[in-house]
Chains A and B, each alone.
Chain A
């Protein structure tokens, strides 16, 4: 079994883009390698080139730039967990980083890799969706920006061109807001999400919801924002009964997209329960 495999580590983003222009289709981009190495081993991935982008300075950094919160694609999950700026401006993303795989994986795996891999259960995606993240892609031809939801086209398939690299994500920062990410897995740690949810909400003095963002992961081929539930709850004071109703709407949307499967009998209740678990703190008790 002869395998022609090369490893290269460009020093600058421009060098990487130039290489991808000529060899993008035969190259696998490696940052943390935690997905690539598994697929390389299984034979699912058969690249000619392994292009290591883990040290490209252009992909690093978390900062506020022109009013947007820029998170470099090469930022590791551990970096996300320890960044104070995210505690303030994107807490759901940080919460997702705490529950992400294991310490060993978090130390090398990157947010860009998690998104580009397009697993339906990528835990970075729902928090990025609620922050209406834009994905900045670069190729030797220039730059384009697409919404985060447009990256995955189906499970493990992305709309990213083989010549392109994910450079960064631009999030809408949100301060002093109720925000949470939770997931359900088969166990507590190192669990692949069976259902995950990211939520942001703001309410006025009377408890009326004035702003809401909700995204569901792992239950549909690609993670989804639930705008209908956002509309439904905005302007209302959440009671327990109202939240059960809204949770059912989220579950209904999952069924509408994914169809009825053998797991639906479990997932319908699980999604509704997850929704309730996250949003129950907003219920005003008389």
Chain B
């Protein structure tokens, strides 16, 4: 179906790199990221904006890639889970997830990380309630969320210590 749609040329920043690509008119940002850029960290869960597995950060805001038209990425600054760690290894937030056992099956993790990343960008010192609210658009069927919330709480502290 997608192949027969009209193409739209777009360019945007993807994890810090300038990219240019042709997308189909009705293609989702999720499809573009996974299939055209082979960045498989961003997952498709429900595909109707309820589970948050496809969460990416566009212009510093968490959005559902499954509900975004790829053409809307044009000119935007896009970040996927692959953009979290600057070089080899993991970043502070990811390390905190590891340390707190905030990952079980791992399917929701990229989306939760992106929501958490956007939250910490907006509010560097969130309380537990704000963290819960910040990731409430992400479903996790394994962890029961407590470890995830603790990990984000810890990451916020570690990140503020780093800045000092």
User: CB within 8 Å of B: which residues of A?
Assistant: 1-7, 9, 30, 32-34, 37-38, 40-41, 50, 52, 54, 78, 101-105, 107-108, 188-190
Contacts and interface: CB of A to CB of B under 8 A. Distances in A.
A140 B1 CA distance: 33
A104 B115 contact: yes
Contacts of A52: 69, 71-72
A190 B64 CA distance: 13
11 contacts: A7-B6, A7-B71, A37-B66, A40-B26, A54-B72, A101-B137, A103-B115, A104-B52, A108-B67, A189-B136, A190-B136
Given A5-B6, A41-B47, A104 B63 contact: yes
A107 B63 contact: yes
Given A105-B67, A108-B68, 6 more contacts: A32-B67, A33-B69, A34-B67, A104-B137, A108-B61, A189-B133
Interface in B17-41: 24-26, 28
Interface in B137-152: 137-138
Contacts of A2: 4
Contact of B61 (A7, A34, A107): A107
Contacts of B137: 101-105, 189-190
A50 B137 CA distance: 26
A33 B26 contact: no
Nearest to A107: B61
Contacts of A30: 69
Q: Lowest 9 CB-CB distances: which A-B pairs, in order?
A: A102-B137, A189-B136, A7-B25, A107-B61, A5-B25, A5-B5, A104-B64, A37-B67, A104-B137
B8 interface: yes
Chain A contact residues, majority secondary structure: loop
Sort chain B's interface into a size bin: 20 to 34
B126 interface: no
B113 to A, nearest CB: 13
B25 A50 contact: yes
Contacts of B26: 3, 5, 7, 40, 50
Interface string B48-72: 1110100100000111101111011
A173 B64 CA distance: 33
Contacts of B62: 103-104, 107
B134 interface: yes
A104 B62 CA distance: 5
Given A9-B71, A37-B68, A103 B5 contact: no
A131 B9 CA distance: 43
